[in-house]
Amino acid sequence: MRIFAIATALLFGLLQSMTVASADAGFVVDMEKDDILRLDGRRYISDLPVGEEGELTFLRACVRNGVLLLSQRSELNEGRSFNIRVMARRVTQDDVTLEFHPSDDTSPRDLQRKIAGFPARDCEEFSRLYDFGPSYRILSVNGTNRLSDLINTPPFAGALMSR
């Protein structure tokens, strides 16, 4: 019984010193990063239920092992869009599809930049610049599931031919 009492006292003292040590370390951030990011009212693709669609503010997509991925921290656009609208639909718990919708003001050069940009981003390099976090697999873009098919379908086909 005495050994149990000593062990309990030691454990209690250890827990107390850990609490004091963390408080002495300075301001403690005791919330998850995703909860902190939502404090200003932002919504992310991960907030959409399966089957719902939302417009992305910035395309946080990159390639890992030949597969195109979208960050679950991709912010949903709440305002007016300019140029190319990027719509993402949650298809399953782990998968999304993307649709690009150019506006009347979208130039062929804008489309060229878009198609040459996101599929060339390596996830390891992209993660050094942006907080990529957990991701969804992108099943299709504008209904195609291969880059070679995508560049031959509107609106990209016409833009790439005008180079």
Q: What is the DSSP string of 103-154?
A: -TT--HHHHHHHHHHGGG-BHHHHHHHS---SEEEEEEETTBSSHHHHTTST
Over 50: is that where the pLDDT of 6 sits?
no
Distance separating alpha carbons of residues 70 and 135, to the nearest angstrom: 5
What pLDDT score does 56 carry?
Answer: 95
Instruction: Note the pLDDT tens digit of each residue in 14-41.
Output: 445 444 445 578 999 999 887 887 888 8
Distance separating alpha carbons of residues 72 and 130, to the nearest angstrom: 12
User: SS3 of 37, please?
Assistant: helix
Give domain limits for the chain.
1-30, 33-161
Instruction: Note the pLDDT tens digit of each residue in 71-84.
Output: 999 999 988 777 88
What pLDDT score does 50 carry?
Answer: 98
For the entire predicted model, the pTM comes to 0.75
Sheet of strand 95-102: strand arrangement: 53-55, 84-90, 95-102, 135-141, 67-71, 61-64
What pLDDT score does 97 carry?
Answer: 98
Query: Nearest CA to 87 among 45, 53, 62?
Result: 53
